[in-house]
Amino acid sequence: VRSRLPRISLGTVYRNLEGLAAQGLIQKVEGGGTQRRFDGNPMPHYHVRCMGCGKVEDIPGETDPKLDNMVKTLSDYEIWGHRLEFIGMCPQCRTDADSHSPQVHPEALDLITPGETPGADGGRV
């Protein structure tokens, strides 16, 4: 944005992104940390977040409505939908981890269950 509109403020950018998300034209990606992320694909889909570099990518395919029904049955909530984000290590970070100790992106630490840390093979320790 800054290359096309060098004088635009960050606040203006985020206000507009929030407005587009409220209209359902884009999707706000919730996650740990303070960084706000938005996805240009407003259709229901899953994400995968790299614990090494913090990158978030779309997972192709449809969401599973059976999850909504299962949670409705288990919780007695009226379920409107769900968001699901998988966490792991991207191919580049796995390659980097093979040559040295794997690093966990600071924002990814908010996604780890307290008392757990990711293992070198991407599993829990």
List the chain domain ranges: 1-39, 44-125
Separation between Cα atoms, residue 18 and residue 115, nearest integer Å: 34
Q: Are 77 and 67 in contact (CB under 8 A)?
A: no
Q: Which residue has the tokens 């240009």?
A: 40
Q: Sheet containing 46-50: which strands, arranged edge to edge?
A: 56-59, 46-50, 85-88
pLDDT tens digits, residue range 73-107? 999 999 988 888 899 999 999 888 776 655 666 55
Phi, psi angles (nearest 5°) of residue 29: -100, 110
Residue 107 is predicted with a pLDDT of: 58
Confidence of residue 15 (pLDDT cuts 50, 70, 90): very high
Judged against a pLDDT cut of 90, whether residue 112 lies above it is answered with no
Residue 98 burial by Cβ neighbours in a 10 Å radius (0-12, 13-18, 19+):
exposed
Domain 44-125 superfamily per CATH: Ferric-uptake regulator, C-terminal dimerisarion domain (3.30.1490.190)
